[in-house]
Structure 1
Amino acid sequence: RTDNAIVKGWIINSMDSSLISNFIRFSTAKLVWDAIATTYFDGSDTSQVYDLRRRVTRLKQAGGSLEKYYNDLQGLWREIDFRRPNPMTCQVDIQHYNTLVQEERVYVFLDGLDDRLDNI
């Protein structure tokens, strides 16, 4: 009983405060977990990929360091690549696809740089 209360507390306390009332009344951690899965998981990771791609397009340097901006983009792109691996099997096609993806990512990176860097 105590372990269940601890785990349920971890789950509930990790939620955004606006969501807690939807799940607090479940009696066990498993019931909370199952309700979360039913509510937010559609059987695929499509919504996570959408969110990651949206975060990439909205990410800007915003006066921060170039290194932080680059590392933040790389982290998002790694997560996208993990969730959406290249489905091709032909090595030539894989290489061509990867080259195109990297080229697009350069454009996204450049677009997010601060305007003060335009003259460099």
Structure 2
Amino acid sequence: MWGIFIGNKKKPTDEKADNYATLLDSWETDNSKIITWINNSVIQSIGTQLAKYDTTKEVWDHLARLYTQYNFAKQYQLEFDIRALQQNNLSVQEFYAAMSDLWDLLALTETDMLKAFKPYMDRKEEQRLVLFVMALRSDFEGRHG
């Protein structure tokens, strides 16, 4: 199926071929299956962006453009959103899931060199914990210490 991702296995176009219907059905089934896998693996806001694409290759190319380039504005916005996020009326689990989604997106902006540097990763996890605890509702105040 990797051929569908990278565009080597293309949608059949020769309608006169004897097995055109079978090839088209097979390609459409695989394409839909992969797009469903991707949509089930991303947060809803990203899934919404992907809905405009018909092929796995288009989805893959969009994700590549979105996440393989360093983007200072995107990193700034994610950092801002993380610091602005508050528990408010969310359960702890819902709040943690929301914050985790933002952390996961931010992690995509990190270089492989940073990810391989253990002191950096340890410090990042400590900072995440601090930000999480600071953003809990005040009724968790006794747990901050």
TM-score with structure 2 setting the length = 0.47
1:55 match:
81
Q: How does 1:5-44 map to 2 (within 5 A)?
A: 44=70
- Aligned match of 1:105 in 128, 131, 134? 128
Contact 2:83 2:131 in 1 (8 A): yes
Q: Tell me, in whole angstroms, the C-alpha distance in 2 between the residues paired with 1:95 and 1:70.
A: 23
Gaps of 5+ in 1: 1-13, 15-42
Does residue 64 in structure 1 map to residue 87 in structure 2? no
Contact 2:75 2:106 in 1 (8 A): yes
**Aligned sequence identity (%):** 17
CA separation of 1:116 and 1:49: change in aligned 2, threshold 3 A: same
Give, as a single letter, the amino acid of the residue that structure 2 aligns with 1:101. K
**Count of residue pairs the alignment pairs up:** 76
CA separation of 1:85 and 1:68: change in aligned 2, threshold 3 A: farther
Give, as a single letter, the amino acid of the residue that structure 2 aligns with 1:110. V
Moved over 6 A (4+): none
Does residue 114 in structure 1 map to residue 140 in structure 2? no
Give, as a single letter, the amino acid of the residue that structure 1 aligns with 2:110. R
